[in-house]
Amino acid sequence: MAKIIVRNQTKKTLTKDGVDYICITDIARQKNPIEPKDVVKNWLRSKNTLEYLGL
């Protein structure tokens, strides 16, 4: 698992079948370092996110 640095914070990345993925929990940790799960939970509730995912 590789790591990149964004805004002085380390983010984990994963490459699978030539596609790069970034850990959304690491991104959410920028908004709420104590409870990043709450940020992710709100992202997944958003109508725009659901439309993007095709759900």
Q: Rounded to an integer, what distance in angstroms lies between the CA atom of residue 2 and that of residue 21?
A: 10
pLDDT digits (tens, 9 = 90+) for 1-55: 778 887 887 888 888 898 888 888 888 888 899 999 999 998 888 777 767 766 5
User: Quick check: 29 and 36 in contact, CB under 8 A?
Assistant: yes
Domain count, the chain: 1
Domain that holds residue 28: 2-53
Spatial strand order in the sheet of 9-16:
2-6, 9-16, 19-22
The tokens describing 10, both together, are 């380390």
- The structure's pTM equals 0.62
Main-chain phi, psi angles of 33, to 5 degrees: -65, -25
